[in-house]
Amino acid sequence: MPLALAGRDIIGIAQTGTGKTAAFALPILHHLATKRIPAERKSCRVLVLSPTRELSSQILDSFRAYGRHVAVTSALAIGGVPMGKQVRALLGGVDVLVATPGRLLDLVQSNALRLNRVDYLVLDEADRMLDMGFIHDIRRIMAKLPAQRQTLLFSATMPQAVAELAAAMLRNPAKVAVTPVASTVDRVTQRIVHVDRQGKSAVLADLLRDEPIDRALVFTRTKHGADKLVRGLGKARIRAEAIHGNKSQSQRERVLAAFRQGRLRILVATDIAARGIDVEGISHVVNYDLPNEPESYVHRIGRTARAGASGTAISLCDADEMPYLRSIEKLIRMSLPATNQRSGPVRTTQSATKPRRSRSRPGAENRHHNGGASGQPRNRQQNSGRAGPDKTPGATDFGSSGGRHAHAGHSAVAGHPAQDLSRVAFLNRGIQPRRDSAASPIDWSEKTWRRKS
């Protein structure tokens, strides 16, 4: 805060739940209160960008709560809702605008907002915005901002892409790092349950019944998986609701309100909620699907044990997710206690050995439609030793076996006369014979067949 109050550009690295919102909101509110400048039409003095609608709403609520005794105007610009109300809110100008990048550009392009009066720019959860593909939108926004401004960038991690973005946006920034992403909250009790993939939903239902749960947040990897899990829990008579990017804004707000007020006990979410849900009283976080990015595990379990409370994080791990579990344990530098509820032993190798596919040609195995013995060898010379040119070619049966040639000489059906096998290799190569091939003898001494002159 002292650095922000002094007007320095700042890079703040801290995991979720460590008070980043207050770290930038309070100094900005102080500046707005001490430097009273009327906002111009269709403009804002403070621009806060965040990756998700839920996080944007929470940031605006924080500004309004912290500045309830300060006459500060504010507005929210997010997708999923009609733009008309947001356009009307910006007509007279606002002090604080909290927005997602996509909707902000929509407002700028429709001439409902101008960015040339921004004094303070905040990028919250910058790494998440880059992960979601907002880098090009952010660069377009940067090009419309004035050069003289204070920029505050906050991120839970510092990958190379975030470092490059910070170098292009900030001027001589001060870097403040608190609680690196590899650390988890000490008050969270973590454990792993090894399960079979097909038995995950049943194990989850048992956990939700047996655990002393006040509110539980269940994470899945995909939107379809979240909806499918809610239906499965409903069949087990456990009420749950899902929140993800395919839900409308009104649906997401309704579900979140019910979860905050305690009317909904189980909330199923994708990683869109990992950094966008700040709900008090979450006693359990359940990873139904382990995240493929180990940093996301830390953000997920950070939804519980907030504000000095304790919490429990349970992760269901099937055989295919063992590499994800190893990456998580490597990141947090600890081995998580585990119980086994699989039908077989827990796999410890990096990946399961895949069965080798047969490369044999169609004639190399038994394909006789009448259940005969094993097929003939593919080697042409072996076949030629049994059936020479003096045998009658063309005796092969091209019956209606769906393209599978039956050789009666090897048939298990009694009473069939022995027939010529000289053309087995010819058929195994998948080459259709000439119609007049039976009328002319074949020279088997050459590597390629040719008709005698």
* Phi, psi angles (nearest 5°) of residue 70: -120, 130
Q: Is residue 352 part of a domain?
A: no
Q: Given CA atoms 402, 408, 409, 410 in this order, what sign does their dihedral have? A: positive
**Domain endpoint, select from 305, 340, 375:** 340
User: Given a cut of 90, is residue 118 above it in pLDDT?
Assistant: yes
Q: Considering the domain boundaries, does residue 345 fall inside one? A: no
CATH code for the domain of 222:
3.40.50.300
User: Is the separation of the CB atoms in 319 and 352 below 8 Å?
Assistant: yes
| DSSP one-letter string for 195-261 | --GGGHHHHHHHHHHHS--SSEEEE-SSHHHHHHHHHHHHHTT---EEE-TTS-HHHHHHHHHHHHT
In which order are the strands placed within the sheet that holds 150-155?
74-77, 94-99, 44-49, 120-123, 150-155, 10-14, 174-178
Residue 260 lies in a domain: yes
Q: Is the pLDDT of residue 383 over 90?
A: no
- When mean pLDDT is compared over 139-153, 165-179, 376-390, the highest value belongs to 139-153
Same domain for 202 and 91? no
Q: Which of 237-246, 318-327, 392-401 has the lowest mean pLDDT?
A: 392-401
How do residues 260-310 score in pLDDT, each as one tens digit?
Answer: 899 999 999 988 766 667 788 899 999 999 998 888 888 888 888 776 678
Pairing of strands 216-219, 241-243: unpaired
Say what the pLDDT of residue 406 is: 41
Same domain, yes or no: 115 and 12: yes
pLDDT tens for each residue of 185-230 = 677 899 999 999 999 999 999 999 998 998 999 999 999 999 999 9
Residue at 294 is within a domain: yes
Task: State whether 85 and 18 are in the same domain.
Answer: yes
Tell me which residue range forms the domain holding 375.
Answer: 362-453
Q: Residue 344: its pLDDT value, please? A: 66
What is the per-residue pLDDT across 2-18, written as a single tens digit (0 to 9) for each?
888 888 899 988 766 66
- How many domains does the chain divide into? 3
pLDDT score recorded for residue 35? 86
Q: Tokens 């049943």 — which residue?
A: 202
The pLDDT value given to residue 405: 43
Q: Per-residue pLDDT tens for 16-30? A: 666 788 889 999 999
pLDDT at 53: 87
Residue 225 buriedness (CB in 10 A; 0-12 / 13-18 / 19+): middle
Q: Cα–Cα distance between 132 and 127 in angstroms, integer?
A: 9
SS3 per residue for 72-92 = CCEEEECCCCCCHHHHHHHCC
Closest CA to 287 of 279, 297, 295, 278: 297
| Same domain, yes or no: 67 and 108 | yes
The conformation of residue 135, written as its DSSP 8-state character, comes to H
Co-location of 153 and 198 in the same domain = no
